[in-house]
Structures are given as C-alpha cells and as structure tokens.
C-alpha cells in the first residue's frame, strides 16, 4: 500500500507541478488503485506513471473546485476508449453527479463500463472485508471532505519453522491455516492458533481536502499511519490562508502532532512557490513541530508503513 502523487499544486498548474490528484496503490492487497481528486491533466500525468486506468477501482473527490475535478470527465472517457471494462465508482459531495452527467452527455462520451456516482455527506461511505472508508466535513469555501481509509487487521505470520518440523510443506494448507481453519497432516491435527502469530494491525491513511484548521480534522487523522494535509502557504501568509480557507505548513504540523499520526505529507502548494527549493521553508516550518514530515513530490511513491514497521527502522 502506497501513495503516488500525480498533482501537488493549488489552484493553477505551473511548469513544475500539476493540480491536485493522488493515487492510493494497493496492488498486493486488492490488485487495484484508488484515486483521490482528479485535477485537470491528471490522465496525462498517469501516462508518465506506473498507474493503469483499467486497474482503477474507485475515485474519491474531496470538493467540487475545478482544480480537483476538471480532469475527471476526460479520465473517464479515456478509460472507456482504452476498453476498460471493470466497474468504477466515483464518490464525492453534492453536485458531482450533475457535473459528470451533463459533461459526459454534452460531449457524447460513451462510458460502457459500469459507472456508479455516489454523492455523500460524510460518515461511512464504503466497507468490505478488507477496508473501510469514512468521510467528514472540513472547513473550506464550499463543501469539502477528508477521507479516512482503514485497512482491516490482517492475519499474523505463520510459524514456518514449526510447520516444517511437523512436515507441512507450502501449499493450500498454509492458506487454510491463515484463514483460521485447522488441518490434518501426518496424522496430526494442527489448529491455526498453534502456528499463527498475532494479527497485524491494519494501516490507516487520511487524505484531506482543502481546509482551514478545524476540529473535524482530528477524528479523521487520529492515529493514522500517514496524513496528507494541504499546506498552501508558510506562516508568513497565515492571514491569506485564513481568508481563502486554506492552511499553513505550521498548521498542518500542529494537526499531525495533535492526532498522533505516523507520517505527515504536505501538498497543495501555492503557485508562488515555483520549484522544490522554494518549498523548503514549508518543510522546515512543519518539521520544527512534527519532524516526520515530507513534501509531496509528483511521480514519487510514499509507502504507508504501520507503526510496527516504523519501529523496526
């Protein structure tokens, strides 16, 4: 499970950065990717990435500002043109369905795969055996949401040495034991409890839409292994951030510290910061409060590590 950034800029693209979009890659866990926001030219960014449109299972929109949705109709149309056949669900706030239906209809775009559009107002919006997604309102000029993606606990590791000692070779029996079943091998009944370690805690990643500091951030981010938080300005422009319903790097770091997250990724940078070097003050500002902070860099992967994995490093 990892994040892959396709766009990190706020409002307008620059020659260095595209507007907002980030993919959650879960190839080992689900053999698919999910997309969070889809600013203009996201599909072009995907052409320069390892992502595949036919592996795209879900899209989550945080809010309906253009720099977060203008790339969506084109991406859906391209997916259909590339013979994508698997169903796709798009989640987002009120207005998403009308935006897509009018745009796709006016352009006579033929979407022949199963497309479901789900408008929500927060709460639990998706759950299956592996994962659940919750949303909560933030504080922006329009309705804006953050998403909390929780991976459910996974089975522990098998005691390979003990299994080999008992003459159980790798094969279907391993899968049964991982699934909690008992097996019989060499006249011996082996229960999963004898050879299976404690469950591995599922990872949690929180991805926020545009927002000013607000109490709604904490329940979304509490205990998350990774928090993606907008960081449009440095503290020098705190008044501007407040006026336009955005956050500074310092405010993002304070939210991460309060929520006890594992890692903080800053994104959604003002175009006043032209290149990576000019973004360093945001990084320094955040790290002074929350040291485990990184800047989101486009076409770079960020593995989502559990607390156990981080402790091993």
The annotation status of 120 as a binding-site residue, yes or no, is no
The strand pairing partners of 4, in sequence order, are 23, 301
- The whole-angstrom separation of Cα 133 and Cα 109 is 29
153 is catalytic: no
Q: What's the Cα-to-Cα distance from 62 to each of 36, 122, 177, 258, 299, rounded to whole Å?
A: 7, 11, 40, 22, 21
Please count the other Cβ atoms lying within 10 Å of the Cβ belonging to residue 122. Answer: 16
Sign of the dihedral defined by the CA atoms of residues 99, 105, 109, 111, in that order: positive
SS3 of 214-241: the string is CCCHHHHHCCCCEEEEECCECHHHHHHH
Please count the other Cβ atoms lying within 10 Å of the Cβ belonging to residue 58. Answer: 20
The annotation status of 140 as a binding-site residue, yes or no, is yes
Catalytic residue among 37, 67, 153, 239: 67
The annotation status of 299 as a binding-site residue, yes or no, is no
The annotation status of 210 as a binding-site residue, yes or no, is yes
The annotation status of 48 as a binding-site residue, yes or no, is no
- The whole-angstrom separation of Cα 261 and Cα 228 is 10
Q: Is 308 helix (H, G, I), strand (E, B) or coil?
A: helix
Q: Are the C-beta atoms of 253 and 289 separated by less than 8 Å? A: yes
The annotation status of 63 as a binding-site residue, yes or no, is yes
Length of the chain in residues, anyone?
A: 313
Q: Which residues are annotated as a binding site?
A: 63, 65, 67-68, 140, 210, 268
Active site residue ranges: 67
Binding-site residue numbers for Zn(2+) are 63, 65, 67-68, 140, 210, 268
């Amino acid at each position: 499970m990892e994040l892959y950034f396709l766009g990190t800029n706020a409002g307008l693209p620059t020659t260095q950065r595209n507007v907002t979009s980030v993919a959650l890659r879960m190839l080992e866990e689900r053999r698919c990717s999910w997309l969070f926001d889809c600013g203009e030219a996201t599909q072009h960014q995907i052409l320069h990435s390892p992502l595949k449109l036919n592996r795209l299972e879900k899209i989550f929109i945080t809010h309906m500002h253009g720099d977060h949705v203008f790339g969506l109709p084109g991406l859906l149309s391209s997916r259909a043109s590339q013979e994508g056949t698997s169903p796709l669900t798009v989640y987002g706030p009120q207005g998403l369905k009308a935006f897509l239906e009018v745009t796709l209809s006016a352009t006579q775009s033929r979407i022949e795969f199963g497309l479901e559009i789900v408008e929500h107002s927060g709460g639990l919006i998706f759950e299956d055996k592996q994962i659940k997604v919750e949303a909560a309102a933030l504080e922006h000029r329009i309705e804006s949401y953050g998403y909390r993606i929780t991976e459910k606990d996974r089975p522990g590791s098998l005691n390979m040495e003990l299994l080999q000692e008992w003459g159980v070779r790798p094969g279907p029996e391993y899968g049964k034991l991982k699934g909690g079943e008992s097996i019989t091998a060499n006249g011996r009944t082996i229960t999963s409890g004898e050879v299976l370690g404690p469950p591995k805690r599922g990872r949690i990643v929180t991805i926020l839409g545009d927002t000013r500091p607000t109490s709604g951030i904490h329940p979304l981010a509490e205990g998350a292994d990774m928090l993606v938080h907008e960081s449009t300005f440095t503290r020098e422009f705190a008044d501007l951030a407040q006026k336009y319903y955005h956050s500074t790097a310092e405010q993002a770091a304070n939210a991460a510290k309060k929520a006890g997250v594992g890692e903080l990724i800053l994104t959604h940078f003002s175009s006043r910061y032209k290149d990576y070097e000019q973004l360093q003050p945001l990084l320094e500002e955040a790290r002074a409060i929350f040291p485990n902070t990184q800047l989101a860099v486009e076409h770079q992967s960020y593995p989502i590590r559990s607390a156990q994995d981080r402790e091993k490093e």
